[in-house]
Amino acid sequence: MTDLTDHGPNPYVLDIEDATLANDNFRATLWTGSHLQLTVMSIPVGESIGLEVHHENDQFLRVEQGKGRVEMGPSNTEVTFTAEVAADWVIFVPAGTWHNVINTGDDELKLYTLYGPADHLPGTLHPTKQDAENDPDEH
């Protein structure tokens, strides 16, 4: 079983592929430091992260399993960039860019993401997307 506690800001190492593939939660924060944060995510078939923006955070996402479509743009009504992604692909989201990742495959979409600076409260765990949407500390 994967340890889903936030190990930051202490020194920490892990097999990120194993941790990402073992995670069945919508979002689990594994490490939060002063300038960086690591989360793992699992997106069910046909679901998405949800259109969102991080005004102060650049974001790096890496797909470990599944297929998806990335949508990005300058506003929530102006999504001008789309790309298909699959295992081993990475996504770079500049701060202030609206974005969404949709699972278009037949399996759960498993990915991890790095935020700089941290976006979620240390120790954030959302078993489902609904939990994330109901969290008053989320945007």
pLDDT per residue over 96-124, tens digit each? Answer: 999 999 999 999 999 999 999 988 878 88
Closest C-alpha among 34, 46, 35, 48 to residue 111: 48
Is the pTM higher than 0.85? The answer reads: yes
pLDDT tens digits for 51-101?
999 999 999 999 999 999 999 999 999 999 999 999 999 999 999 999 999
Residue 133 phi/psi, 5-degree rounding, is: -65, -30
Architecture of the domain defined by 19-134: Sandwich (2.60)
Residues 129-133, mean pLDDT to the nearest whole number: 86
Cβ count within 10 A of residue 73: 17
Query: Which tokens in the block code for residue 44?
Result: 């069910």
Phi-psi bin for 76: left (phi > 0), alpha (psi -120 to 50), beta? Answer: alpha
Query: Which tokens in the block code for residue 4?
Result: 């889903």
Q: What is the domain partition of the chain in residue ranges?
A: 19-134
